[in-house]
Amino acid sequence: MLNTLYSKLAAALFGLVCLIGLLFFLLVRYSTEMYQQEVSQKLNTALAQNIVHHEPLLKDKHINEAAVKDIFHMLMVVNPRIEVYLLDQDGRILDYDAPVEKIQRQRVDTKAIKQFVSGDIRYPVLGDDPRDTNKQKIFSAAPVMYNNSLQGYLYIILSGEEVDSITQMLHGSYIARFTLLGVIASLLVALAAGLLIFFLLTGRLRYLSDVIASYTKDSGMAGNKRFTLKNKKKDEIDKLGEQFNIMADRIDEQLQALQRNDSQRRELVANVSHDLRTPLATLHGYLETLLLKDTELSEEERQRYLEIAVSHSHRLNQLVSELFELSKLDSCETLLNVEPFSLGELIQDVIQKFVLMAKEKQISLTTDYGQGLPFAYGDIAMMQRVLENLLENAIRHTPTGGHISVSLAKTSDKILVKVADTGCGIPEDEIPFIFERFYRLEKSRQGGQKNAGLGLAIVKKILELHGSRIRAESKQRKGTIFSFEMATR
């Protein structure tokens, strides 16, 4: 039943209102009774004293029967609600005007009487009720003196049994019912107002719940609902809705990334299958030809077939190695062996590997290291792989007679590395895609094509592991510049 926040708040409010109503009623009832007692006792404070001064009630500790009888009769006629008792010094009841069977006490504690007589009191002061061993009532009292000697006390109960019954009647009176109904009506109004306020306050929570439920149902679909912030001053609900929007946006981005990764995975499988099948088929074809026509082939043909088979074997081995390397870089098992090293010396070592290849194509290789370069921090083996891939790519796309340069420059706390060539260039609309796996500017995938399209993807992944990124600038028929930065500490 209480399965919503609003219903729980409503139940809690209802219980709280009932509790407050009960406490308020009891407090009003108690305070009213205490107020009545205080007023009555204050008004009758001197009552007993005035009676005692009128005529002595005890003489040498003997009761003045005539005076007592006269006084009791007069008081009962004037005010039948009071009860009059004549006590000795110790509080024992000497005389009274009431049926014997109604008297339950034979002695009254004089402590309250002495406090009352002293005048140092805080109203109301309650004394023992001779008609009930468990009750105390307001009273008026005065010492009875004779020849300057204390003879006893005149003890007057101001709210007798009749007053008790009248009080009970007042509790069922119109005024009491009216007051009770007024309190109940006020509490009901407060309850209704509280329920309305709770309903308005939880409205945004219900709206946020609907948004989350809609998103959960249609997650990953375009046009998903978001929590709309309507208040400039954000409260906890607005902040919660804002965090949900951020979380939903991130989930959507991750879903889109998963979809892209799935699409790339499918494309990767297709590309790998194609690139593996082509050299395998060619290699198989030439080896089969050598087996079937071994006696018919001349020595020159046999040598050429073997060279072609070896070339495709090398290509297949390179492709598998690059795939394995890229897969290893993508996994969480790749750990960098970071250490300081000289980028200039590393570039010089890498260039030596490509001098012969560049000389065959009549391409010039130059370097510019600048002055006072600090050591770079990174994995030397991986950075060597980056430079090799970039230089190999530059030589492959630079025509005969072209030029390739490698330069280093200090920028704040990093070293800027540039590899520039005077090759054919890259169309501007294809630059964002050149670092994707198996992407090649050449759209055809003929068997003689030696580039698998994984070199720049490997470069990008290695630099990402080093906290850097590769950038490309190119103009068609003028050349391309690849650049990245290395940390120096």
User: What pLDDT tens digit does each residue of the chain (489 aa) get?
Assistant: 667 777 888 888 888 888 888 888 788 778 877 888 888 888 888 888 888 877 777 776 677 777 777 777 777 777 777 888 888 888 898 888 777 778 888 899 989 888 888 887 888 889 998 988 888 888 989 898 877 888 888 888 887 555 454 455 455 566 666 777 888 888 889 888 988 888 887 777 888 888 888 877 765 554 567 777 666 667 777 788 888 888 888 888 888 888 877 776 777 677 667 667 767 887 888 888 888 887 777 888 888 888 888 887 887 787 777 677 767 776 666 678 899 999 999 999 999 999 998 999 999 999 998 778 899 999 998 899 899 999 999 998 999 999 999 999 988 889 999 999 999 888 888 888 888 776 665 543 333 345 556 788 889 989 998 999 999 999 888 899 999 999 987
Amino acid at 185: A
Q: Are 110 and 88 in contact (CB under 8 A)?
A: no
Q: Give the count of beta carbons closer than 10 Å to the beta carbon of residue 64.
A: 19
Q: Are 326 and 454 in contact (CB under 8 A)?
A: yes
Residues 6 or more apart in contact with residue 85 via CB below 8 angstroms: 93, 95, 96, 108, 130, 154, 155, 156, 157
Q: Give the count of beta carbons closer than 10 Å to the beta carbon of residue 171.
A: 12
What's the gap between Cα 338 and its chain centre?
39
Q: Are 176 and 151 in contact (CB under 8 A)?
A: no
Return the pLDDT at 448.
39
Q: Are 369 and 393 in contact (CB under 8 A)?
A: no
Q: Which CATH number fits domain 203-334: 1.10.287.130, 3.90.1170.50, 3.20.20.80, 3.20.190.10?
A: 1.10.287.130
Give me the torsion for CA of 69, 74, 79, 85, rounded to 10°: -20
* CA-wise closest residue to 208 among 251, 253, 247: 247
Cα 60 from Cα 55, distance rounded (Å): 14
Phi, psi of 122 (to 5 degrees): -125, 110
Q: Are 102 and 131 in contact (CB under 8 A)?
A: yes
Q: In 161-202, at which residue ranges do the beta strands (DSSP E only) sit?
A: none
Return the pLDDT at 406.
94
Q: What DSSP letter does each residue of 200-246 carry, written as one string?
A: HHTHHHHHHHHHHHHHHHTTTSTT---PPP--SS--HHHHHHHHHHH
Q: Are 47 and 156 in contact (CB under 8 A)?
A: yes
What pTM did the predictor assign?
Answer: 0.46
Return the pLDDT at 446.
37
Residues 6 or more apart in contact with residue 161 via CB below 8 angstroms: 131
Cα 187 from Cα 460, distance rounded (Å): 71
Return the pLDDT at 37.
81
Tokens of 387: 């430079």
Judged by DSSP in three states, 29 sits in helix
Parts of the chain belonging to CATH 3.30.565.10: 335-487
Report the chain's terminal Cα–Cα distance, integer Å. 64
The DSSP H or E segment spanning 306 is helix 299-330
Look at the domain 335-487 and name its fold. Answer: Heat Shock Protein 90 (3.30.565)
Amino acid at 442: E
Cα 89 from Cα 47, distance rounded (Å): 19
Residues 6 or more apart in contact with residue 247 via CB below 8 angstroms: none
Judged by DSSP in three states, 158 sits in coil
Return the pLDDT at 271.
65
The DSSP H or E segment spanning 140 is strand 132-146
Parts of the chain belonging to CATH 1.10.287.130: 203-334
Handedness of CA 387, 393, 396, 397 (dihedral sign): negative
Return the pLDDT at 447.
37
Cα 308 from Cα 312, distance rounded (Å): 6
The CATH class of the 45-157 domain is alpha beta
Return the pLDDT at 102.
82
Q: Are 425 and 479 in contact (CB under 8 A)?
A: yes
Residues 6 or more apart in contact with residue 363 via CB below 8 angstroms: 395, 398, 400, 401, 402, 403, 404
